[in-house]
Amino acid sequence: MKLVLSTEAVTENLDTRLIGQRVLCYSSLPSTNELAKGEARRGTVAGTVIIAEEQTAGKGRLKRAWLSPRGSLSLSVILYPGLEYLPSLIMVASLAVARAIEAVTGLKAQIKWPNDVLINGKKVCGILVESEVRGETVGYAVVGIGVNVNLRVSDFPELSLVATSLSQELGRAVSRLGLVKRLLVEMERLYLTLLDGGSIYEEWRASLVTLGKEVLVTSGGAEYSGIAESVARDGSLLVRRPDGSLSQIVAGDVTLRHQI
Ligand code: BTN
């Protein structure tokens, strides 16, 4: 089958020097992250991108499954960052997705901590960063991104209440090729800003829909309710508890108590 997202199409006039140096495209894969981890362990070039038209065993955060039928966008980017940059990859990926969606569709995208991208309060993209760290050294980091692009969410009952798609929000199909190219450009800009000593924290913080909201956070089996007061520079969430204390949460899952 001829791929819409082919190596030639994705790399043609791609305005990047790191991300997309090598692009591998597949009609179907179990999971782009799984393939990417194998490539990374074999030492493939930094900035390698793996794209699949569909995933049959897509992986979500917290060991959940991620649905990636045809019409969605599933990709993984392989990087070898220094340990100090690892926590910021979530910011790089979520901001890049938000910027790319806004540029390509004009839709306003917001980020729900730590890294879901929402449109009109519904999830349109999930991000799974997987890495191998030995002591102070990062073996690799794989940034996996799944976007609901051209899907009828109502065809997937498990998604219909919480998720949306770009085509559903826009009322027309969206070019996945245009979106992926813009996404790779934005990822590179943000990643290189970090490596050059710049900060992307302020933009990420300003894009968060979570701050100031009443939240319930589940993290490592514990639950924290309160007001999401702020985020630290390392990306952790600061929740003001009803007793006035402040909990710092590094990783978890947020439910907004009231819809936005
Ligand atoms: C989540 O919100 O739970 C994260 C979902 C991450 C899905 C992407 S799709 C591309 C990459 N490959 C995977 O198997 N998962 C990530």
- In tens, the pLDDT along 35-86 reads 999 999 999 999 999 999 999 999 998 889 999 999 999 999 999 999 999 9
Amino acid 176: pLDDT: 97
* pTM reported for the whole predicted model: 0.94
pLDDT classification of 1: cutoffs 50, 70, 90: low
Q: Which residue lies with its CA nearest to atom 3 of ligand 1?
A: 60
Average pLDDT over every residue of 116-120:
96
106 pLDDT above the threshold of 70: yes
3 pLDDT above the threshold of 80: no
Amino acid 260: pLDDT: 47
Amino acid 224: pLDDT: 85
Let me know: does 69 contact 54? Beta carbons within 8 Å. Answer: yes
Q: Indicate the DSSP class of residue 161.
A: T
**Which residues, including other chains, have CB under 8 Å from residue 81's CB and lie 6 or more apart?**
89, 138, 141, 191, 195
Q: Indicate the top mutation candidate among 26, 28, 55 to test ligand 1's pocket, ranked by most ligand atoms within 8 A of CB.
A: 55
Let me know: does 5 contact 30? Beta carbons within 8 Å. Answer: no
Ligand 1 site residues, Cβ closer than 6 angstroms: 31-33, 55, 58-61, 64, 66, 68, 74-76, 116, 126-128, 144-146
Q: How far is the CA of 105 from the centre of ligand 1 (A)?
A: 22
Let me know: does 195 contact 85? Beta carbons within 8 Å. Answer: yes
Q: How far is the CA of 68 from the centre of ligand 1 (A)?
A: 9
pLDDT classification of 254: cutoffs 50, 70, 90: confident
